[in-house]
Structure 1
Amino acid sequence: MCLGIPGEVVELLPDRPDLARVNVSGVRRAINIGLLENDPPEPGDWVLIHVGFALSKIDEEEAAAVLRYLEELGSAYTDEMDALSQSMIE
């Protein structure tokens, strides 16, 4: 199962304008924000992430609802979080 997971943008990486550091349920990873070039996220914004790419900006309320739903999925969410915690974009 492929999931889109909400994450909060913590910082934009100054030396890589296509990357942002995002906090996803306590896991911080660099993700690619290049697909959002027409409406780039800022620190504090929430984005929906799939395979290391921010697909869209979402509001905090929607992010919380999606996280609750994903937690209810159980193992699919856990597997996705494990994969995220092991991924690295440099």
Structure 2
Amino acid sequence: MCLAVPGQIISINENDEPLLRLGRVSFGGVVKTVNLAYVPEAQVGDYAIVHVGFALSIIDEDEAEETLDYFKQIQEVST
């Protein structure tokens, strides 16, 4: 089973090579570098679904927050 997690793009490192376009993405305060090649329309402030270091799609803020809330509920139940 694979898991993709929503995160908010906080900065983008533009590059002349589209495959090397990278962004810093915050996952509830944990910031990771993510490849943005699959989402050329992505902008700072957008939420993206990320899997193994690649942003796969852009989602709206409400959907991202709802998913993050589910993760919090799962964590509370499992502790």
Determine which structure has more spread, i.e. the larger CA radius of gyration. 2
Letter in 2 for 1:63: A
TM-score normalised to structure 2 length:
0.80
Determine which structure has the larger helix proportion and give its number.
1
Find the counterpart in structure 2 of residue 3 from structure 1: 3
Normalized against structure 1, the TM-score is what?
0.71
Instruction: Write out the 4+ residue segments of structure 1 that deviate beyond 4 Å after TM superposition.
Output: none
In angstroms, what is the RMSD of aligned CA positions?
A: 1.9
| Number of residues of Structure 1 aligned to a counterpart in Structure 2 | 73
Q: Which 5+ residue runs of structure 2 have no aligned equivalent?
A: none
Structure 1 stretches of 5 or more lacking a match? Answer: 75-90
Which structure shows the bigger proportion of residues in strand conformation? 2
Which amino acid in 2 is paired with 1:25?
Answer: G
Give the aligned residue type for 2:23.
A
SS in 1 for 2:10: strand
Aligned to 1:58: 59
